[in-house]
Structure 1
């Protein structure tokens, strides 16, 4: 049996990791009797931890917001500083710590007293960040923590979802946006990539796994009930989401060999632009997509690497078309075309043969 102090810490960790526990479940996890669990809960309350209890067969223990910050953790100023830092990291998608920030924030906000939650909200509401690089659509940290809690507790999520803008233009010259759709899903994980957040979930209406952009989600509670978690669609969910947003989401797909080591390619090819696989020490394979083959040519050229087209064969023809168009443009500008080592003019002529584009 665990010593009392270690058992209290273990009990507190369990209460933070799950929304609600029955007394029997806690007793089994801790290796004690339900009566000991009740005594330990009373000790946590004496220390200032807000543990709520509901009676009956469907009742249990739940960690809720308290009247005072529990001792031996953080004072008021430290708690506010940590909460603001976590909200900033969660809302801006800082590389490598975004998902961890959401989980930590979800735990912290459970025990922040009301006065501190108001201070944190005010600081976030009246602070304007100055960031380098493009800023993606804003994601409400409250939505992130709500989704994280539902993933943690395996509860159904009900929400409205705004799909991507349609390709047709409106009379005012912009793109039209479809009406929000109502969705009910089993949320599995949040994935952060650069400055965007995605939710991987099982869509009950589509009977399949789907990836949703969090900035397009508007939760519509009540949520629930709980569900039995399914086997995820892939072991590496980051790669799964990357393939979805960079390739599967587009009409045209391509497989390209980049003539540089994978590490060098990864410095320019972001997870939302394509997925990379090793292909020996001096090359790698890029899987990517775009709205059309012509756009794919530009997309791949902008990486600035030598490349071979592996799939589809039609993309090689699109590369030739782009090459000829550029050659004609240079010719009209009065520039001489480059010559081969034997002095022959490389001005495009009749095409023959096929093969990988370089």
Structure 2
């Protein structure tokens, strides 16, 4: 059984993760008896934490909301998670780098010496992408998130200030590839859209409440994957072809993310790969700088022929300028 202080910290951490905790479940998670849980709850109440007991078949406890909540306590795992999250905030695109640094400094000052030492030794270098996405003001992110939570129609300017305001039912605020996006049902175009948050200017007042629609693909991850692949919602690339390369599979597979590489023998492999267009797929295969045999489909062969003509024209010397 863990020491009382460590057990109290673990109990408080559990109470903060969900609204209601049945007493038997708390006892099981802490590996103690229900009587010990009751005593630990009383100790936390003495420290000023507003813990409410509720009755019923699965009677338990709830950490109630309070205006004078004592200072937050963190266990070791929470302290490490918080330090990592605040240090990598610079790559979030949310424009909160300075605020995150100040927050980490504030949290560090109220930590016990043991946890402060762990945070100090955890130095993470947050490196942005070579071409980082545009920053989004925290006020915009808060406004979009509030509209999503309240299920209220969002009125906003998009892009140019002269453009008429847009109306949409906001469903998800997501980050993808270093950018922030709003996934919403566009009321004017009657279709699902992904809006770049850095181009959104929320307008007031908000519109009426709405009943959420079912997102294509079932989940926001599946929807965004299909949308950015340019597919029909299946989550697969719209163009997918098969070739045989004059290279061993080991030389190809490290550079193929979502393709399939199969060894065919010494110096030969089969590659099945997808792309957003046939010419894009042909160009991707061509970067391996090896002999290529197209297995199919015919659209991929035509794309190679089209690229061959373009490359041949690019390699031809320019026609002499007439005097």
Q: Give me the TM-score of the superposition, normalised by structure 2.
A: 0.49
